[in-house]
A and B are shown apart, each in its own frame.
Chain A
Amino acid sequence: MSWIDIGHIEDVPLRGARLVKTAVGCVAVFRTDETEVFAASNTCPHKQGPLSEGIVHGHKVTCPLHNWVFDLNTGEAQGADEGRIATYPVRLEDGRILLDGDSVAKRSAA
C-alpha cells in the first residue's frame, strides 16, 4: 500500500463527504463520525448518482438521486436493491486522511 495524504479530517463535514479525483474515477471520502472515515466509489451503479452528495447515516450512505442505500464497510447495496460500489482502504493519522494510492491507481497500471 502507498498512503497518500488527501486532506485533513476537518475538511470533510461530519456526516458528510468530499470528492477525490483519481485514475479510477471519482472517489468519495465519507466522514461517519468525529474520527471515522470511509472511501468508496462516488458513483451509484443504478443511475450514476453522486454518492458524495448523499445523506450519511451510521455506516451507510443514501444516493441522492433514487435513495439506494450502501453499506460503506462492504460497498453492498442494502434492502431489495442489488449492486455494489468499490471501497478503498483509507485511514487517519494525526487528523490527516490517508488514501491507499495503489488501489486507486490499479486500473491505469493494468
Chain B
Amino acid sequence: MQKLVVIGAGMATGRMLEHLRDTDPGAYEITLFNAEPRGNYNRIMLSPVLSGEKSFAEIVTHDEGWYADNAITCRFGEKVLSVDTERKVVTGEQGEVAYDKLVFGTGSSAFIIPVPGHDLPGVVAFRDLEDTTAMTEAAGKPGARAVVIGGGLLGLEAAAALRLRGMEVTVLHIASHLMERQLDPAAGYLLKKDLEKRGIEVLLEASTKEIVGNGRAEQVNLADGTELPCDIVVMAVGIRPAVTLAQEAGVACGRAIKVDAQMRTETPDVFAVGECVEFEGNLFGLVAPLYDQAKVLAKTLLGEDTSFAMRELSTKLKVTGCDLFSAGDFAEGEGREDIVFRDPARGIYKRLVIEDERLIGAVMYGDTADGNWFFGLIKDGTDISEMRETLIFGPAYQGGSSVDPLSAVAALPPDAEICGCNGVCKGDIVAAIEGGATDLGAVRAITKASNSCGTCTGLVEQVLSVTLGDDFVLPTAQPVCGCTDLTHEDVRRLIKAQELKSQEAVWQELGWKTRNGCHVCRPAVNFYLLADWPLDYRDDPQSRFVNERNHANIQKDGTYSVMPRMWGGMTTPEELIAIARAAEKYGATVKVTGGQRIDLLGIRKEDLPAIWHDLNEAGMVSGHAYTKGLRTVKTCVGSDWCRFGTQDSTGLGIKLEKKLWGSWTPHKVKLGVSGCPRNCAEATCKDVGIICVDSGYQIGVGGAAGMDVKEVERLVDVKTEAEAIEWTTAFVQLYREHAKYLDRPYKWVAKVGLDWVKEVLSDAAERTALVERFDVSQSVYQKDPWAERAEPEAARRFQPLADLTAQAAE
C-alpha cells in the first residue's frame, strides 16, 4: 500500500481525507501531522464557541473514533521539522516517516502588525482554540475591556462574540468603512450602526501606534493620541499562508505554495491544499474553494482526472442580527451600472451591479433573503434585460414599486424632535393628531410645532400624512433634487432629529435614490453636516464646488484668481510689496475689488501652492473670496481719521473679521461697518451692516446688492462694541444652523421672519449658546487653507498626475 503523509489537520485536509476514505478506503496508509494537539475541527465555527453559543465538542469534525476507524496514524501536537523531497521523508519531532505522496495542508497564520508591544502577553490572534480560550478567560473578569484590531469578517465576529460575553469592546479599523473588501460604504455604515446598537464601539480610520502595559497588554494607543485601556487585544487584520516548511523543502512558492489545477506542486509527488496554496496568482481564505480543492486533491491522489476552477464567492457574516450579504464584483471596472434600493424605515440597503445586461455583483444589508437568488444570477451569467426593472425586488416580485417617500419620517421614534424652536417631538404631534388635529393649522395651535421659524413645516405635514394616511393630502414641496423627495428644510431637520453625522447616514436613513448624491444635493448635505456636527463630521472637499476645493476662483479660461485677506480693508506697504512681487512672478492681472481688497487674476492651478506660500511668507492668509463663508468686512476710516466718525469702525470691522473668518455658511456672507450715518462703507446693503452712532451701534441684517437690491432691516441697537460682536456672531450662527443651502441671509430672513430672528436673539442665554456653538465650529474650521495646501505633500495634488506628452511623441 502506498504511504500518504499529510501535514496539517485543518478544514481542507479533513475534507480531503473524507473523500479519500469514502471513495477508496484501501488506497493509502495515512499519517496525519498536526502542530495543534488535536485533530480536525470546524475552524470557522470558533466564533460561536467564543460567544458561548456552542461548545468546542460541537465543532469537532473528526473525533478519535473516526481516525481509528479509518486507520489514520495521528501525530498531533508534533511539529514537522523538515521535509526531504529527494529521500521522500518527513521528519517530525518524534522521528522520520517515509512517504510516496505528500500533502502540505499547513494553512495560514494570523498576520500580526509589528507595532511596539505586539509581542506582549494578552495580545492574541483569532485563529485557533488557544486564542479562543485566552479570550474567554479575559472575558471572565467583570467589566473587562477588549480592543479588536481589524474590522474585517474575523475581527467583527470576535468583537460580537466578546460583547456577548459581556466585555466592553472597541473595534479599530484602518479603512473608512467596515469590511471594505466585501461591502460598499452604505452597507458598511449600516453594519457599523448595528454593531454600535449592541454596544460595540467602532473607530474608523484608526491607526494603531503601540500596545503598552506592565508585563502584559494594558492599553492601545492610536496615532491620533486616543488611548484605549484594555484587558486583551485581538489582532484580526489578516492571514498569511504558512509556507516556511515548504520553502525550506525547496517546493516552489510565490506568495504561497504554487499548485496547478490538480493541486500538484512543482515537486513530484508533493501536493498542497487549503489556505497555504496559490493558484493562478490567487490566495484563498474562505471555506468554499478550500472544499473544492479538497475534492480535487482526493481525486488526483486516486488517479482520477479532474481540475480545480475558481468560482464566484459570496460572504455572510456570522453575527446574529447583522444581516449582510455580498457577492461578486461590485466595485472595479468601467461600463457598469448600479441599481440602488433603500428602505430607511426597515434599515435595508441593496445594491446590484450590472454589466452587459448581466448581474455581476450584489451587496445587501438588512434583508438578504434574495441573496442566493442573486448569487445564482451572478454565477450563471443570466441575461437580466427582461427583468431589469423589477430585478432588485427579488424573485417574488413582478411589476415594480417605488420607495415610500415618507418612510424616513415614519421611521422616526416618538421622541425624535421635529420642531427645534419649540421642542416638539414626533410623539407630541401624533398625540395631537389622534386628539383631533387633522391639519397643519390645528397641529400648530395645539403643539406649537412649526409655529416659529417654520423650517419644520414639511416634516409636520409628513407626520400628519403618515398618521392620517389617505385622509391627508400632502402639499407638494420642492425637493432638493432628483436624488430625494425631501426638501432642504426636511433634510436639515432630519439631520438634527436623527443625529445623522455622515453622508452615508443621510443617504441611507433618508432614502436617497442614488449612490452618493449629485452636484446639487451633495454640497448642501456636506454643509448641513459640518454646520450641525462640527466635531463629528469632517468636511469633504469632493462634495464642494471647484472654488471651495481649490481655494481660489476658477475663471472662464481655467485659470484662477487669488485674493489675500485684508482685515477690514486695511493693508501695509510690506503687504503691497509682497502682492506686487507675487503678481509679477506669476504673471497676474491685478484688480482692486469692491470688497476693499486686491485680486490677482490669471494664476495657473499648478502655481497656486507656490503663490500661497509667497503670500503666507508676507503674513497674509486666504481671503476666502471663493467660499460660501465669510467674505469681507468693508469699513470706513472711522473715528481714527474722519472728522465725522463717531466710533472706531475700522477697529470693529477688523475684530469682526478676525472672529468670523474661516467659517462656512449656507451662502456667502459680507459685512460692512460705517463710522457714521453717512455710510461710506455702504453697510446698509450687506448681509450684516453696522452703522456707528454717538450712542453706540445700529445692527442691520438681510441687505442685498446683487440680483436683488435691498436695504438692511434693523435687528437691534447696542451700546458697546462687545455687544455688537456678540449679536453679529449669534446672527451668523443662527443663519448657519437654519438656512437652506444657497439662501443668502436676506432670503432666509424673509422666510422665517425678522420677528422670529429678533425673538431668538433677544434671549441673552440663547445668544451666548449660539456664540459658543460658533466658537466650537471655529476651533475646527478657522485655519488658513492656503498654509495647509502650500505644504509639499498637499501641493503635489495641484500638479498633473502624469505627463505623457513626451512618451506619446516617441
**Chain A residues engaging chain B, CB cutoff 8 angstroms:** 4, 6-7, 11-16, 18-24, 26, 29, 33-36, 38, 47-50, 53-60, 62, 64-65, 67, 69, 72-73, 87, 89-92, 97, 99, 101, 104-105, 108
Contact = CB atoms under 8 A, between A and B. Distances in A.
B321 interface: no
Contact of B516 (A7, A58, A99): A58
Contact of B808 (A53, A55, A105): A105
A55 B519 contact: yes
B666 to A, nearest CB: 18
B334 A14 contact: no
A22 B802 CA distance: 9
8 nearest A-B pairs in the assembled complex, by CB-CB distance: A23-B808, A62-B519, A18-B801, A64-B546, A105-B808, A6-B802, A53-B546, A15-B542
27 contacts: A4-B807, A15-B540, A15-B542, A18-B797, A20-B800, A20-B801, A21-B800, A22-B805, A22-B808, A23-B805, A33-B331, A34-B331, A35-B331, A35-B332, A36-B333, A38-B334, A54-B546, A55-B522, A55-B545, A58-B338, A59-B336, A59-B337, A65-B556, A97-B801, A99-B802, A99-B804, A104-B808
B332 A53 contact: no
Contacts of B18: none
Interface string B515-526: 111110011000
A104 B546 contact: no
B809 interface: yes
Given A62-B519, A108-B808, A47 B331 contact: no
B541 interface: yes
Nearest to A21: B803
Contacts of A47: 556
Instruction: Determine the main DSSP class of B at the interface with A.
Output: loop
Contacts of A12: 801
Contact of A20 (B184, B519, B803): B803
Interface in B774-810: 797, 800-805, 807-809
A23 B804 CA distance: 7
A36 B332 contact: yes
B554 A65 contact: yes
Interface string B543-559: 11110011000101010
A52 to B, nearest CB: 9
A15 B340 CA distance: 18
Contacts of A38: 334
B557 to A, nearest CB: 8
A54 B547 CA distance: 10
A54 B554 CA distance: 11
A23 B801 contact: no
A23 B309 CA distance: 42
Contacts of A89: 334
B807 A101 contact: yes
A34 B180 contact: yes
Contacts of A55: 518-519, 522-523, 542-545
Contacts of A69: 518-519
A107 B549 CA distance: 33
A92 B331 CA distance: 11
B215 interface: no
Given A13-B541, A58-B514, A21 B331 contact: no
Contact of A13 (B332, B797, B800): B797
A13 B801 contact: no
Given A36-B333, A64-B545, A53 B556 contact: no
Interface in B471-520: 514-519
- Candidate in A7, A23, A67, A99 with the most chain B CB atoms within 10 angstroms: A23
B801 A29 contact: yes
A56 B517 CA distance: 9
B37 interface: no
B596 to A, nearest CB: 28
Contacts of B337: 59, 73
A7 B800 CA distance: 10
Interface in B550-607: 550, 554, 556, 558
B706 interface: no
A73 B332 contact: no
B804 A101 contact: yes
Contacts of A59: 336-338
A57 B517 contact: yes
B604 to A, nearest CB: 12
